[in-house]
Amino acid sequence: MTVICGVSAVLADHRYPQATLTAALAARLLPAGLPDPALLHRLHERTGVAHRCLALPLPAYAELADFGAANDAWIEVAGDLGQRALTAALVQSGLPATAVDHLVTTTVTGVSAPSLDTHLIASTGLRRDVRRLPLFGLGCVGGAAGLARLADLLRGDPDGVGVLLAVELCSLTVQVDDVSVANLVATGLFGDGAAAVVMCGERRAAELGIAGPRVRASTAALYPGTERAMGWDVGPSGLRVVLSAQVPAIVAEQLGPDVRGFLAQHGLSTRAIAHWIAHPGGPRVIDAVHTALDLPPAALARTRRSLRDNGNLSSASVLHILADTLEAEPAGTSEPALLFAMGPGFCSELVLLQW
Q: How far apart are CA 102 and CA 92, in angstroms?
A: 18
Name the strand (E) or helix (H) holding 198: strand 192-200
Residues near 2 by Cβ (< 8 Å), separated by ≥ 6?
150, 151, 154, 155, 199, 200, 201, 202, 205, 214, 215
Q: What is the DSSP string of 138-195?
A: -GGGHHHHHHHHHHHHHHS-TT-EEEEEEEEEGGGG--TT---HHHHHHHHHB-EEEE
Residues paired with residue 53 on neighbouring β-strands, in sequence order = 15
Q: How far apart are CA 19 and CA 37, in angstroms?
A: 12
Name the strand (E) or helix (H) holding 284: helix 283-293
Residue at 56: amino acid letter = L
- As a residue count, the chain comes to 355
Identify the burial level of 72 via C-beta atoms within 10 angstroms of its C-beta, where 0-12 means exposed, 13-18 middle and 19 or more buried: middle
Task: Dihedral sign for Cα 118, 70, 187, 17, please.
Answer: positive
Q: Tell me whether residue 140 is one of the annotated catalytic residues.
A: yes
Q: How far apart are CA 126 and CA 101, in angstroms?
A: 9
Report the DSSP pairing between strands 214-222 and 347-354: antiparallel
Cα 124 to chain centroid, rounded:
22
Residue 51 region by backbone torsions, left for phi larger than 0, else alpha for psi between -120 and 50, else beta:
beta
Catalytic residue among 5, 53, 140, 170: 140
Residue at 278: amino acid letter = A
Q: For residue 136, say if its preceding peptide bond is cis, omega within 30 degrees of 0.
A: no
**Residues taking part in catalysis:** 140
